[in-house]
Amino acid sequence: MKADIFKLVERRDGARVKPSMAKEASRRPPPRRKIPRSFKDLTPAKHFNPRTFFQELILKGWFTPRHGQPRRPVFPKLKHGEVAITWIGHASFLIQFTDLNVLIDPNFANWLFLMKRIKRAGLKMRDLPPVDVVLLTHAHFDHFHKPTLRRLPHPKIGVMPRGVGDLAHDLGFSRVIELEHWESFSQGDGSHWKVTFTPSKHWGARTLHDQHRGYGGFVLEHQGRKIYHAGDSAYFHGFEEIGRKLGPEIALLPIGAYHPETFRKVHMGPDQAVQAFQDLGAKFLVPMHYGTFKLSFEELDEPPRWLREIALEENLTEQIKILDEGVPKVF
Ligand SMILES: [Zn+2]
Ligand SMILES: [Zn+2]
C-alpha cells in the first residue's frame, strides 16, 4: 500500500513534486477505498464508460437520502477588522465584514440537472443578509448556478473571469466585472474592498465548445484581512506564486473530487490541499468542495476524514478549520 501512495505522489506532477513531499505522503495511511477496477483509467474528459459513470455518480445519488438541515444562522456582531466566514456547502461561502457581505460561488440547488444534492445547504437563501458582491470563480454548473444567482436579492455586483460575463446578463447584477488573472477590481477610493483574480489549474468550458471562458480563484482584501478562495484547482506551482504576490491569510481550498487518480489533473485531494496551504504561506485552511454533490468516486465523507488525519499527523489542528455548514466562524 505504501508503495502505491508513493507512486501516486510522484505521478502527480513530475517536475514539481519534491521527494520530501512524496516521503511525507507515504507515511500517511491511505484512506480506505472501494473503487471498481474498471474506473482505474477514467479521465474527466475522455474514454470513461458512460454507464458506470451514470450508475455511480447519478443513480446511486437518487437512492441516497438527502441529509443535513439548514440552520437559522446567528450572524455575529463584528468589529472592524474581523471577518465572519460561513460555509454554505460545496464551494459556496458567505464572507462578512462590518460593512461588506460577499458571496462566493453561491449554489443552493437541490439538483444539478440529474445530480442530486446529498447534503442540504447550511442556510436558507431567505436568511442571507443583503449581498454587496458575488464572486464567481468559473462557469461550471456547481459554481455558477444561474437559478441561485437569479433569486439572490438585488442589486449586487458580479465579479467573474473573462469570457463568463455573457452568462450573467439576465441574473439581476447591477454591474458585471470580468477579470483576467492578476487583475484587480476595487470599490471606492482603494481604501474600500479589493478583489484580485488568481490563476488555477482547471478548465472553464461550461459546455463542450465554449473553451474561451476563464477560470481561477479570488483574493479578497478588506479591513486589512485577505481571504483566498481557490475555486476549483489541481495542485500546481501557482499556489506558491499567489502566496508570494498576494499573501493570503485565510485559504478556502477544495479537497474533494480527487478519485480516480486522473481527476487530480483538475482537482486536489486533502494531501495536496495541505501542500497548497503551505505553499501559500496562509495562516488558516478552510476546506470546501466535498460532501455535497457526488462528483467523483471517493466516498462523500472521505475528504474531511483524511484531512483530519493529516492535520493530526502534521500538527496542523490549529490551522485547519473544518467548518459546519451554516455556522459562521469569526477570524
Ligand atoms: Zn470546476
Ligand atoms: Zn467544482
pLDDT in tens, the chain (331 residues): 333 333 333 333 333 333 344 444 444 555 555 544 444 444 444 446 788 888 888 988 898 999 998 889 999 999 999 999 999 999 999 999 999 999 999 999 999 999 999 999 999 999 999 999 999 999 999 999 999 999 998 778 999 999 999 999 999 999 999 999 999 999 876 568 999 999 999 999 998 889 999 999 999 999 999 999 999 999 999 999 999 999 999 999 999 999 988 999 999 999 999 999 999 999 999 999 999 999 999 999 999 999 999 999 999 999 999 999 999 999 9
Cα(81)–Cα(69) distance, integer angstroms: 31
- Amino acid at position 222, single letter: H
Q: 211 has which bridge partners?
A: none
What spacing in Å lies between the alpha carbon of 286 and ligand 1's midpoint?
Answer: 18
What spacing in Å lies between the alpha carbon of 105 and ligand 1's midpoint?
Answer: 11
| CATH code of residue 211 | 3.60.15.10
- Residue 12 covered by a domain: no
- Residue 55 covered by a domain: no
User: What integer pLDDT is reported at residue 190 of this predicted model?
Assistant: 56
- Residue 35 covered by a domain: no
User: What integer pLDDT is reported at residue 57 of this predicted model?
Assistant: 86
User: What integer pLDDT is reported at residue 31 of this predicted model?
Assistant: 57
Cell of 211: 473553451
Angle CA(222)–CA(253)–CA(14) in degrees, nearest 5?
125
List Cβ neighbours of 143 (8 Å cut-off, separation of 6 or more): 91, 105, 107, 136, 137, 231, 232
What spacing in Å lies between the alpha carbon of 296 and ligand 2's midpoint?
Answer: 11
- Residue 248 covered by a domain: yes
- Residue 46 covered by a domain: no
What spacing in Å lies between the alpha carbon of 79 and ligand 2's midpoint?
Answer: 33
Cα(171)–Cα(81) distance, integer angstroms: 31
Query: 258: closest CA among 244, 272, 274?
Result: 272
* Axis crossing angle, helix 270-280 with helix 302-313, rounded to the nearest 10: 50
User: What integer pLDDT is reported at residue 187 of this predicted model?
Assistant: 83
List Cβ neighbours of 32 (8 Å cut-off, separation of 6 or more): none
| Cα first-last separation, the chain | 39
Domain count, the chain: 1
Contact 274, 235 (CB under 8 A): no
- Residue 88 covered by a domain: yes
Cell of 161: 473571469
State which residues form the domain around 261.
65-74+82-330
Cα(309)–Cα(302) distance, integer angstroms: 11
What spacing in Å lies between the alpha carbon of 143 and ligand 2's midpoint?
Answer: 6
User: What integer pLDDT is reported at residue 154 of this predicted model?
Assistant: 76
- Residue 300 covered by a domain: yes
What spacing in Å lies between the alpha carbon of 191 and ligand 2's midpoint?
Answer: 32
What spacing in Å lies between the alpha carbon of 214 and ligand 1's midpoint?
Answer: 11
Cα(18)–Cα(223) distance, integer angstroms: 36
Whole-model pTM: value is 0.86
User: What integer pLDDT is reported at residue 208 of this predicted model?
Assistant: 85
- Residue 26 covered by a domain: no
